[in-house]
Amino acid sequence: MSQQTTRPSSAVGPVPTSQLDLAQEFIRRKTPISVIRGVLHRYPAISPAVVLVVAIVVFGIINGRFLAPANLSLITQQVAVIGTLGVAQTLVILTAGIDLSVGAIMVFSSMVVGQASATHGFPVWLALLLGLVVGLAAGALNGLLVTRLKLPPFIVTLGTLSIFTALTLLVSSGSTIQGNQMPEVVTWAGETFRVAGVDITYGVVMMIVLYIVVAFILGKTAWGRHVYAVGDDKEAARLTGIRVNGLLLSVYIAGGAILALGAWVQIGRSFAASPNAGADINLDSITAVVIGGTSLFGGRGTIWGTLLGALIVGVFRNGLALAGLDVLYQTLAVGVLVIVAVAVDQWIRKGQK
């Protein structure tokens, strides 16, 4: 053999750090803007927190009544429903999906609870259980269509949005059930207790407990970590042994259960079960999630960001109304917020590619 290939020794010493430390080079190249981008990337809840604080200060200066206890109480009540739906929406968006049917499922569930308890005279526990079953079944239907038929979540939930809306009208015949027709437990979420001069509804407490529970699950359990992993890179998650379809299905079913809770909160908030309650609520829940810094591309975001997002939507709507502006300006402001939030998200992600 003419050209004998020489093999280097297999004994491997420690590789010189200077040779390996690519991260160091990367850090040195940082500019102030890229540092800000890096921080926002790591802590996506920072920007909504800043926006919320600024908005509260500005609206407080514009109109003194904004910070009055009665008004703060009103804001929390307005936020409770969107905030609850936002939790379900966050779970789905973290897996790189989207759920356009959250409002429809919530209204469907609330009408079933209303009809069962008021019109058909079912016991309270059975009426609420039926509401939960509706939420779980609706979530399971979405999940099965996404995982078995492999349809995009956008299309699946666009379809089920119409289906659940139609089923709601079928169940309710289009009529609203007033709160006084239903047992007290069904409207319990709308009852208040007083903390430091501010009236807090039990629905707000339910929402906060829900956030704490879901924050724990997302942050501290393997299931939560898998939600992020699947949203981040589905194929990578599959190759590491995560059952992607099972996880996605469980996310939609968990979302359904949360929406059933949202139905209970909604009945208490409006002291009625109304088939028309969910008109803008779908988009408001997506708005809350997006403003809260969760990426529509999945795998990135926190549940607390969504709470901040829901609060921002509530504060803007309420503050603009108190400032004497027409409803159209509230809608305009929310629209601008969404676009700015998504643009910021894109900008933050661009720095990482």
Partner 1 sequence: MTVIDSATTPTETRTPVLQAKRLVKTYGHVVGLDGVSLELYPGEVLAIIGDNGAGKTTLIKCLTGAEIPDEGQILLDGKPVHFRRPQDAREAGIETVYQSLAVSPSLDVASNLYLGREERKKGILGSVFRMMDTKGMRAKARAELNELGISTLQDVAVAVENLSGGQRQAVAVARAAAFGSKVVVLDEPTAALGVREGGQVLQLIKRLRDNGVPVILISHNMPHVFEVADRIHIQRLGKRAATITPESHNMTDAVAIMTGALTV
Binder among 28, 29, 42, 150 for partner 1 (CB under 8 A): 42
Residues 262 and 106 sit within 8 Å (Cβ to Cβ) = yes
Residue of the chain from 173, 175, 240, 276 that contacts partner 1 (CB under 8 A): 240
113: amino acid identity, one letter: V
CB of 48 to partner 1, least distance (A): 18
Out of 51, 229, 288, 307, the only residue in the binding site for partner 1 (CB under 8 A) is 229
Q: Kindly indicate which of the ranges 3-11, 106-114, 177-185, 274-282 contains the residues binding partner 1, using the contact rule CB under 8 A.
A: 3-11
Stretch that binds partner 1, among 4-12, 59-67, 306-314, 330-338 (CB under 8 A): 4-12
Q: How many angstroms separate the CA atoms of 173 and 197, rounded?
A: 41
* Smallest distance from partner 1 to CB 65, Å: 42
Distances (CA, A) of 294 to 33, 53, 131, 305, 346: 21, 19, 29, 7, 11
Taking CB under 8 A as the criterion, the residue among 158, 239, 323, 325 binding partner 1 is: 239
29 lies in the site for partner 1, by CB under 8 A: no
Beta strands in 196-275 (DSSP E): 198-201, 272-273
Rg (CA), the chain: 24
Nearer to partner 1, 5 or 121 (CB): 5
Nearest 5°: phi and psi at 326? Answer: -65, 155
31 scored as a contact of partner 1 (CB under 8 A): no
Smallest separation, CB 214 to partner 1 (Å) = 14
Choosing from 233, 283, 296, 342, the residue that interacts with partner 1 (CB under 8 A) is 233
Q: Write the burial class of residue 108 (CB in 10 Å: 0-12 exposed, 13-18 middle, 19+ buried).
A: buried
SS3 143: helix
Amino acid symbol at 344: V
Instruction: For the beta carbon of residue 25, count every other beta carbon within 10 angstroms.
Output: 8
**Residues in contact with partner 1 by the rule CB under 8 A:** 1-5, 7-8, 10-12, 14-15, 17, 19-23, 26, 42, 216, 220-223, 225-226, 228-229, 232-233, 235-237, 239-242, 299-300, 352
